[in-house]
Each structure stands twice: as structure tokens, then as C-alpha cells.
Structure 1
Amino acid sequence: MIIDKQEFYINGLSYNVRSAIVNDAKELSKVRLQIDGETENLDREQGEGFIDVTGFEQLIKNDTENTRNLFLVAEAQDKIVGFSRCEGNTLKRFAHKVEFGVCVLKDYWGYSIGKNLLKESIAWADSNDIKKITLNVLETNDKAIKLYEMLGFEIEGVLKKDKVLSDGKYYNTIVMGKFND
């Protein structure tokens, strides 16, 4: 699915949020790899689950054509600095919901990029009769949890000892959801 480009100016940074296009694939492959190495908040370590240019081209094409998927990028200073995806399900029993995921380059934290990617995804879901958005978040990611709660998400459950981080300790994953009547 495609949305209209939105412009933002936060804390001195001008950026836009728009739908991903096939020409973004090369940059997205590099950005995703970099982000995976900058934080342990995501599911992957750097290099795991690598998506090459062709993989991103196919993902963007599929998400653009599928009315239950949305692939957004955030652009600042003429480069992609973050992205998000909403992925739906074709099974009728799950067709009312999508799963949201987001990542932003560490140098661009603090500019509400993740927040605006999520707000645009929520607006898209609202206008496309999607009733529920779900997401998973690492229990130690307090800023993200507070943001999600501020935008109407509720904790639905906890996956105990779900991830092992570099310190060798196990951490919980919090499952959150937002339901629109």
C-alpha cells in the first residue's frame, strides 16, 4: 500500500516519512545491517537474516501491491535513516490485524522518527479497516514501551526468557496491541 509523503521538523531536523519504493532497496539493505549492529532492542544481531538488494526489491513490490501491508521509510539529509513495516495476514481469521516493526539509525534517535512512522502506520490502518496492530518489544526498551502506551497500545502478554543478549542473560519480550473499534 502507498501513503502520501509527510514532512516533519523536530528538534532542528527536517525529515519526511513516505512509502518505500524499489529504488530504496540498496540503501535499505545497508541501513538495516547498520541498525542491527547499533542496538540489542531488535531481534537480529548484525548480519543475521540479511536481506540483499533483490530481497528488498521484492519486499517493497509485495508490500506496495498488498492492501494489508505497509512499508515506510524516513528520509533526512538525503538518506534513509529509519523504516517501518506493517505486515498483514491473508488468513481470514487474522485478516483484521497487522504486525508492526520499526528501526531507526542511532544517530537519529530523539527526533520522533519512530513515533511518526508509527503514527502514520496507525492512520493508514484506521483508514483501511484494519482493526488491530500488534508489536513485540524487548522488556528493557522503556522509551519504546512508553511511546507505544502513549499511542494507545496495551500490554497483552509477556514471552518469558524469550531472548538471549550479548551479556548471556535471558530477557522477556512484551507483546503489545492496539485495537480500533
Structure 2
Amino acid sequence: MIVDEKLIEGKRLTWILRCPTKGDSEELSALRIKIDGETENLDREAGEGLLTSEDFKKLIYEDSISEKNLFLVAEVEGKLVGFARLQGNGLSRYRHKAEFGICILKEYWGYGIGKVLLDNILGYADNVGIKKVCLYVVETNTKAIELYKSFGFVQEGLLINDRIHMDGNYYNSVVMGRIID
């Protein structure tokens, strides 16, 4: 689905919230690699699960025609600094449900970009009849967990020793969900 562009005047930063276009695909591919290398909060290390420019073009197109998917980007002064993606489930038994993720460059943490992305993702999900939105978050990412809780997410489970970070230690993943009746 495609939504209208919005100018966001937030915490000490003005930025644009919009859906990506094909022209963003190369920048998105590079951005994803950079963000993956800046934090251990995401699933991948830099360069793993690589999505090329062509892969992003395909995602952008598929999401633009899907009623259950939404891809949003955050743009500051003509530069993409983050993105979020909601992906609905095409299986009949799970058609009421979607998963999402958010990625933001570390230098833009603390400006409220994640909160705006999340608010828009959930507003969209509610409008298209998605009853449950799910996510996985590393247990040590307490800021993200608190943000999700403030939007009505609850912890549904804990995956013990679910991931290994570069320090060689195992970390738990929190399974969270938000249900709309």
C-alpha cells in the first residue's frame, strides 16, 4: 500500500515520512547494511541476508500493491535515515496478523522517528483490519521494549538463547504482540 507523504516536525528535527519509490532502492540497500553494522539489536550483521537494489525494487513494488503490507521510510534533508515495514500474512489462518520491524541510523536515535514510524504502521494495520501485530526484539533492547509497551504490545514469550552476538554470548528474544479486538 502507498500512503501520502507527511512532513514531521518532531524533537529538534524536521523530516519526511513517506513510502519508498524504485529510485530509493540503491540507497535502501546501502542503508540496511550500515544500520545492521551499527547495532546488535537487529537480526543481521552487516552484509548478512543482503538485499540488493533489485531486491528492494521488488519489495517496494509488491508492498505498493498489497493491502496488508506497508513500507515507510524516514528522510532527512534528502537522505534516508531509517525505515519500517509491516508484512501481512497471506495464509488464511493467519490473515488477521502481521509482523513488523524498524531500522534507524544510530545518529538519528532519540529524535522520535521510531515512535512516528510505529504509530503510522499501527494506524495503517488498524485501518486495514489487521487484528494482531507481532515482533521479536532482543531482551537487552529495553528502550524498544518500553516503546512497544506504550503502544499496547505485551510480552507473549521469551526465546531463550535465541541469538549469538559478536561478543560470543547468547541473548534472549522477546516475542511481543498487540491485539485489537
Note the aligned Cα RMSD (angstroms). 0.8
**Deviation digits for residues 65-119 of structure 1 (CA, Å, limit 9, x no counterpart):** 1111111101112111000111111111000011010100001001111111110
Aligned counterparts, 1:116-131, within 5 A? 116-131=116-131
**Deviation digits for residues 138-159 of structure 1 (CA, Å, limit 9, x no counterpart):** 0000100000000110000011
Are residue 61 (structure 1) and residue 61 (structure 2) matched?
Answer: yes
- Counterpart in 1 of 2:81? 81
User: What is the DSSP-based 3-state SS (H/G/I as helix, E as strand, rest coil) of the residue aligned with 2:38?
Assistant: coil
Aligned counterparts, 1:10-25, within 5 A? 10-25=10-25
- Counterpart in 2 of 1:3? 3
Give the letter aligned to residue 63 of structure 1. D
Q: How many matched pairs?
A: 181
Give the letter aligned to residue 116 of structure 2. N
| Rounded Cα–Cα distance in structure 2 between residues aligned with 1:11 and 1:101 | 22
Give the letter aligned to residue 138 of structure 1. V
Are residue 148 (structure 1) and residue 148 (structure 2) matched?
Answer: yes
User: What is the DSSP-based 3-state SS (H/G/I as helix, E as strand, rest coil) of the residue aligned with 1:27?
Assistant: helix
- Counterpart in 2 of 1:164? 164
Q: CA deviation at 1:166?
A: 1.1
- Shift >6 Å, 4+ stretches: none
- Counterpart in 1 of 2:90? 90
Give the letter aligned to residue 25 of structure 2. A
Structure 2: unaligned runs, 5 residues or longer: none
| Rounded Cα–Cα distance in structure 1 between residues aligned with 2:126 and 2:7 | 20
| Rounded Cα–Cα distance in structure 1 between residues aligned with 2:138 and 2:6 | 28
TM-score by length of 2: 0.98
TM-score by length of 1: 0.98
Structure 1: unaligned runs, 5 residues or longer: none
Q: CA deviation at 1:9?
A: 1.6
| Rounded Cα–Cα distance in structure 2 between residues aligned with 1:110 and 1:123 | 22
Q: CA deviation at 1:20?
A: 1.5
| Rounded Cα–Cα distance in structure 1 between residues aligned with 2:79 and 2:133 | 28
Q: CA deviation at 1:6?
A: 2.0
| Rounded Cα–Cα distance in structure 2 between residues aligned with 1:40 and 1:165 | 7
**Equivalent pairs: percent with the same residue?**
50
Q: CA deviation at 1:11?
A: 2.4
| Rounded Cα–Cα distance in structure 1 between residues aligned with 2:78 and 2:53 | 19
User: What is the DSSP-based 3-state SS (H/G/I as helix, E as strand, rest coil) of the residue aligned with 1:37?
Assistant: helix
| Rounded Cα–Cα distance in structure 1 between residues aligned with 2:99 and 2:155 | 14
Give the letter aligned to residue 116 of structure 1. V
